[in-house]
Amino acid sequence: MLVGIASVQVGAAFATKLFVHLGPAGTVLVRVLFAAVVLWAIWRPRLRVHTAAELRLATLFGLALACMNLSFYESLDRIPLGVAVTLEFVGPLGVALVGSRTRLDVVWALLAAAGVALLGSFGTSNAAGVLLALTAGAFWAAYILLNARVGRAFAGGDGLALAMAIATVPLIPIGIADAGGRLLHPSFLALGFGVALLSSVVPYSLELEALRRIRPQPFGVLMSIEPAMAALAGLVVLGQGLSALDVVGIALVVTASAGATLGTHGPAPIDA
C-alpha cells in the first residue's frame, strides 16, 4: 500500500508535465493505453473462461477507471496536486462513512466538510477544478467498491487487465481531440509510458493484492495519507507550495478519513 501510494502521486506529478504538450485528456489516454498493454502482456486474460456477469463487472470497473482518471487529470490542470487529491479523497471517505456506525460519524463528516470548504474557497482553487476533483472522488468511490468485487471474481490480475483495456476505449476520441498528432511523438510516448507504470500498473496491482490480504479498516487508514503524499510530490516534483489554509484543509480531511475508517466493519480479506 505504501509503495502504491507513493508511486501514484509521483506519477501524477510527472503527468502534469505532459499537459502542455498532450493536454489532460491526451495524457490520460497515453497513460491508460500503455497500462492496458503492460497488464494484458503480464496476465493474458482469456475472455471465454469468464461469465457474462464477470465481463459486465470488468466493464463497469473499466468505465469507472476511465472517468476517474479523466476528471482527476482535468482537475490537475486547474488546481495544485495536493488540493486535487484531497478533494478527490471525499470519495473514499464517503465509502468509509457509509460503513461506519459510531457516534463519531458526525464529527468525521464535519471535519471533512470543513477541510473541503477551506480547499474550495481559498488559495489557488477554482470552481471548475474543485468540481472536477470532487467528480473524480465519486468515481474513486466506485473504483474501491468495484475493485474489491473484481478481486473476488477474477484470479490474479485478469480483471484489472480487462478493465484497463476497456477504460481505453472511451478515452480514444477525447484524447485524440485534445492532443492530435502529438500523441505519436516519441519523447511524449516515453514519458507517458513511465507515467503509466507509476500511476496505473504499480499502484493498481498493489492495491488489488492488498485488498485480498487486509481488511478494509487498515486499507482505508493507509489510504488516508494520500493527500499528504500528493502535497509532498507536488512540492518536490512541481514546486507547488500550499497556503496555511490549504495545509489545514488537507489535515482535516486526512484526520476525518482515518477516523471514519477505524469505525467501519468489513469482511475478512480474501486470502492471507
Question: How many angstroms separate the Cα of 235 from the Cα of each of 80, 178, 210?
Answer: 9, 27, 28
CA 92 to mean position of chain CA atoms? 10
pLDDT at residue number 165: 95
pLDDT at residue number 272: 30
Whether 58 shows a pLDDT value over 80: the answer reads yes
| Confidence class for position 100, pLDDT limits 50, 70, 90 | low
Which of the pair, 84 or 220, is modelled with greater confidence?
Answer: 84
DSSP, collapsed to helix, strand or coil, labels residue 264 as strand
DSSP 1-68: -HHHHHHHHHHHHHHGGGHHHHHHHHHHHHHHHHHHHHHHHHH---GGGS-HHHHHHHHHHHHHHHHH
**Nearest-angstrom CA–CA distance, 171 and 193:** 16
**Nearest-angstrom CA–CA distance, 25 and 177:** 8
DSSP, collapsed to helix, strand or coil, labels residue 269 as coil
Give the N- to C-terminal CA distance of the chain in Å, as an integer. Answer: 15
Whether 17 shows a pLDDT value over 50: the answer reads yes
**Nearest-angstrom CA–CA distance, 239 and 232:** 9
pLDDT at residue number 269: 40
Contact 11, 129 (CB under 8 A): no
* pLDDT tens-place string over residues 105-148: 788 888 988 888 888 765 455 889 999 999 999 999 998 889 88
Rg (CA), the chain: 18
Whether 68 shows a pLDDT value over 60: the answer reads yes
Strands (E), 60-177: none
Residue 248 C-alpha cell reads as: 489545514
In this structure, the number of other CB atoms found within 10 A of the CB of residue 158 comes to 22
pLDDT at residue number 101: 65
* pLDDT tens-place string over residues 163-211: 999 999 999 999 999 999 999 999 999 999 999 999 888 887 887 788 7
* pLDDT tens-place string over residues 211-270: 778 776 677 778 888 899 999 999 999 999 888 888 999 999 888 888 877 765 544 343
